[in-house]
Each structure stands twice: as C-alpha cells, then as structure tokens.
Amino acid sequence: MSAPRHLVDWPWVVVEVECSLCPRRGRYRLARLAERYGSAVPLGRLLETMAADCTLMKPDQKPRQYEARCGIRYVVPPAGPLPADAPARAGAPRLDPPKPANRKRLGYDGPAPTIAQLRQQGISALFVTCHGLRQGVTCHHTTRLSLDPLEAPDDMSFLELCRSLRLVCSLCGGRKMHIVPLWPDVRQARAASFGIDSKPRMPGTVVPYRMPGT
C-alpha cells in the first residue's frame, strides 16, 4: 500500500499528530477534518494548518542549515495484517494490530528515594537543567537548588518534590525541567583524605603536586 498523500487516502478514522520538539499532541476525527478542510487537502498542507501558530513553522521560507523547524508529524499506528479501522474480510474475524512485546526495563525499578535517604547519602542540593526551546534551540540553562530552603519533609519522596517545585526557566520561560540529585564528588573527597587538592583550577594555573609527608 502506497503512502497516503491526501486526506481522502488516510486509512484510519482518527488522525493523530505529535511534535518531536515539544509536548504538543492531538487527535482528530477524520470526518471532522474532511468536513472542515475538504477531503482533497494534501496531508502536508494540513500539518502546516494545524501548526500555524507555532513560531518554528515557516512553510514559505527555505530551511537553512542548523535551523530548527517545527517537528509536527503524523502518528502512524503499528503495522498489522489490516489497518486499525479497516473492516474485516468476508468470513474472517477482525485482526487487531499486534501488541508490542514487554521488554525488560534496565536499571533501578524500585520506589523513589525519600528526602531523608538523600540526605543520608550526602546530597544537599539538586541539579536542574532546562529542556525548553530558546531561539529555536534547546535552552540547557542549568542551576543548583539547595534542599534546605525548600523545607521538604523527610518522608517526602524525590518524585513528589520534583512535581511540587513547578520551576520556570528565567531565560526561555520553559517549564520542561530535568531534575537530578547533585551527588557529592567522591573523587575529591577521597583525594582530600590523602591530603591532595584535586579541585578544578582555571586554565593556565599550576598546582604543585606533593605527596603527604614530603
């Protein structure tokens, strides 16, 4: 089956779109779209119409190198013996799309640690990174939050604390934050136990290396 080019060729009764750069997502009934935009509308033009309010949607301009563009796209259901909304063949039962296999999750899969457990491991701050968009690129603005001013109870889990912060980036105004505990530098602590100063220095400075007792 060739790829659909117009709305009339769309094989499902629901048209689902998503953006690869932002959390934007939508589901539309095929009949409603055909009634509003016409069944002969090209699928590419329909995407431009749906994302007309996006600042990165520039259909009339030629894309330049390394320039971010709107990532809106159609979500195609998984391939199966029949399309998801196609009628069953005569005398044959309806076949649903195959379900994805359950894959084993890697890494820690237990409950989130509490604030008391983080403090016991020497964590006194959080490291926050902004994943919002600023001038067409990812912001990546970072900051450090101390746990003491937050006044979080010891029995609160780390995930509950992250949901209750509701942080807003001061550069791009985004709310998509990545929060991780700021783990202490074990290497610096171990070097300090031997009397060695291993803190990073500015380029051009020289730190004399002396073993303890010399």
pLDDT digits (tens, 9 = 90+) for 133-149: 877 788 888 888 888 88
- In the block, which residue shows the tokens 């016409």? 38
Q: Identify whether residues 185 and 123 lie together within a single domain.
A: yes
pTM above 0.85, yes or no: no
Which pLDDT belongs to residue 108? 60
In a domain, 127, yes or no: yes
- Residues 143, 179 contacting (CB under 8 angstroms): no
Which pLDDT belongs to residue 194? 67
Which pLDDT belongs to residue 214? 46
Q: Identify whether residues 61 and 129 lie together within a single domain.
A: no
Q: Identify whether residues 119 and 51 lie together within a single domain.
A: no
Residue that is last in its domain, among 42, 74, 106: 74
- Average pLDDT over the chain reads 75
| Closest residue by Cα to residue 50 from 85, 11, 15 | 15
Structural domain boundaries, residue 126: 115-193
Instruction: Give the chain's residues under pLDDT 50.
Output: 82, 90-91, 200-212, 214
Residue that is last in its domain, among 74, 100, 127: 74
Measure the CA–CA gap between 111 and 161, rounded to whole angstroms: 14
Which pLDDT belongs to residue 202? 43
Which pLDDT belongs to residue 187? 60
Q: Identify whether residues 123 and 63 lie together within a single domain.
A: no
Q: Is 86 left (phi over 0), alpha (psi -120 to 50) or beta?
A: beta
Which pLDDT belongs to residue 205? 42
For 76, half-sphere exposure in the C-beta direction (CA atoms, 13 angstrom radius) is 8
Q: What is the pLDDT of residues 12-36, one digit of tens each?
A: 888 888 888 788 888 888 888 888 8
Measure the CA–CA gap between 79 and 98, rounded to whole angstroms: 8
Measure the CA–CA gap between 120 and 154, rounded to whole angstroms: 11
| Closest residue by Cα to residue 143 from 116, 168, 119 | 168
Which pLDDT belongs to residue 99? 64
Q: Identify whether residues 67 and 125 lie together within a single domain.
A: no
In a domain, 32, yes or no: yes
In a domain, 66, yes or no: yes
Q: Identify whether residues 65 and 126 lie together within a single domain.
A: no
Measure the CA–CA gap between 112 and 158, rounded to whole angstroms: 6
Q: Identify whether residues 60 and 119 lie together within a single domain.
A: no
